[in-house]
Structures are given as C-alpha cells and as structure tokens.
Amino acid sequence: MKCFLFYLVFLLELVWFGYGQSSNHQPLAPAFFVFGDSLVDCGNNNYIPTLARADYLPYGIDFGFPTGRFCNGRTVADYGAMYLGLPLLPPFFAPVSIVHNVLRGLNYASAAAGILEETGQHFGARTSFSGQVSQFEMTIELKLRPFFQNPEDLRKYLAKSIISINIGSNDYINNYLMPDRYSSSKIYSGEDYANLLIKTLSAQISRLYSLGARKMVLGGTGPLGCIPSQLFMVNGNNNNKSGCVTKINNLVSLFNSRLKDLPNTLNTTLPGSFFIYQNIYDLFHDMVVNPSGYGLVIPDKACCGSGRYGGASTCLPLQEPCLDRNQYVFWDAFHPTEIANKIIAENTFSNSAKYSYPISLYEFTKL
C-alpha cells in the first residue's frame, strides 16, 4: 500500500511539475532556484528521516493532495514561479527531478533548515543552507552541464536565472529562542547573533556567486513574534498593541536591518552581482494588524492547530482544519495560509517596489 501511494504521488508530481503548469508567455527568467526553509519547502523533507514533515492531510488540502508543503495549498515560491512565467518547481530530492528537465529550476528548501548548521537539529535530518548550496553545485555539474555544450552558454543561463533565498526564521524559533536546547542565546547578544547570521550568510552567498549565481533575491524574515506558536508560549503582558511579542520582533528586526544592507557590501566584493531585498516583515506585520485591508479576518489564530491561538502544536495527521481558510492569516502554528502566501507574492513578485529594495522584482528580471 505504501509503495502504491508513493507511486501515485510520483505520477501526480509528473503532472504538476512537468505538464500542468506551463505558461504560454515568455518567462521573465530562464530558471528559478529556491533556497530556504519550511516556508518554501515543496517536499524535500518527504525524502529524509526527519520530524519536520508535512506529507499528510490536512496539509495540501487545497492543493489536491499532501505534497510536503507546510500549507493548505501553494507557497510564496509557487506563486513566485507563476509570476515569473515558470512551472512549479520540483523538490531537489524528488524522483521527478531526475527525469524532469530541470532547466526551469529546482527547489532546495528544507523544513527546519537554517543559516547555521546546528539550527533545527532536534527535528532530525534537514538540509542546512550550506547543504542546499552543495546541492545546487551538484545540479549544475550533473543535471545542467550536459544541456550546454558551450560553457559560456551555461554561464549566461545561470547569470540570468533568479536565485531566491528565504532563510533565517529557524535560526531564531528553532535555535536562539530555545535556550533549553541550544546555547546560542547564552553566548550571543541579540546584535551579536544577528551579526553572526549575516557573516555566515554572506559567505554562503559568496559560494553561490562562485558557482555562477548573479541575480539573488533576499527574503527578509517575517515578524516571528506574531506567529501562533510564539503567542501560545508567552503571557499577554509581553505583547504589544498589535498582539505580537515585542521582544521577538525586535530580535528579528536586528537581522533584517543587516540583511537589507548586505547587498551594499556584496556588490563591491562580488562584481556583476545583483540583489534585491524583499521586506516580508513590514508586509506581513501589516497583514496581521490590518487584516481587513487584505480581505482577511483572523490574524492571530491557526486554521489547523490546538491550544491557545492554535499554537500549541503543528497540524496533526487527519486533524480537521477550519473551513473558512481564506479568512485566516495562519494555516498552522508557524506557517501562513495559501491566501496569505498569495498576497505576499503579489506584493513582492510584481511591478511594485513598495516591498522590494531597491527595485521591483519585475525590474530586477530586466537587468
């Protein structure tokens, strides 16, 4: 039975990633390569021994079947690919990525992954950002290079491709904010920890550059003090007027301010590179404090969860989720709903530069 289900999912992946999502329009980029954590994981953790997985219902309930996405439907990366005119990307580990033409891109994101190697280790296996960069190197050598007889053509292809990096949340919620499991908060102040993350991330981005990446999108970390899991763990006295945990949001802001400035440094050390910073924090925070402005109703409770705010645990197998999912900001204790992901993508993968610095992603693709 298990083998049959695996084969069924494999066939469904062939349809979704191979044929069902093609575009009649000229794509804005030749390929889209996604790096990150559970916010954009599209199924990589299905194939490794880990507790951080979402390969069961009700995850995927609005996608049609559970894919390993930590959502009821599509992620921001899925919508990002659509806006670029590209098909949904297969996970690096999926069998379909072996037979599928990977020229349109791959997704390397892994739930529980972080910038730091130790982040999320209590979940078991996960592919850290450094590990994802190694997988990108393998993709180039084993899957992409055979398509390009001329090395210069491969160089141009990689230089025009969009590299999306959405990493850092777990370095807080599954490292720094877990003092019983990790020592980082005892060693580093908030500012020193943010500096450590940026220094490590900078070296990882430099490695991507050495492999041929030139156009990189840096996704800021969202307001983690607003997610149901954090609201569940604190008493109301620690919350600000928005209902979020001020201390946690302040920590994240230290990281984001440095991430926004990172391109200024990298542009001088990595000639020919281009970066944009997506201000996810301000956009998502506005969705939480002003949900009606986005057609949402419930900004602080998980659609599928338990306990106060639905933040006591993640969505359990076959648990009954809320019926009005398009009214919720959060799907589970940690992750946005499909509708929230769509709103984020509409505001960051678009012609508008309101939440993209220094230019919009559409302008970015023209460089």
Nearest to 316 by CA among 306, 328, 325: 306
Distance between CA atoms of residues 339 and 328, nearest Å: 8
Distance between CA atoms of residues 289 and 238, nearest Å: 17
Is 189 a residue of the active site?
Answer: no
List the catalytic residue out of 38, 110, 229, 242: 38
Is 25 a residue of the active site?
Answer: no
Q: What is the number of alpha carbons within 13 Å of residue 32 lying toward its C-beta?
A: 28
Is residue 155 within 8 Å of residue 144, measured between CB atoms? no
List the catalytic residue out of 97, 169, 332, 360: 332
- Torsion sign across C-alpha atoms 23, 27, 32, 37: negative
The total number of residues shown for the chain amounts to: 367
Nearest to 190 by CA among 201, 203, 178, 177: 177
Is residue 190 within 8 Å of residue 254, measured between CB atoms? yes
Distance between CA atoms of residues 82 and 61, nearest Å: 20
Is 38 a residue of the active site?
Answer: yes
List the catalytic residue out of 55, 78, 97, 335: 335
What is the residue-wise DSSP string for 298-327?
EEEEESS--SGGG-SS-PPTT----S-GGG
Residues noted as catalytic: 38, 332, 335
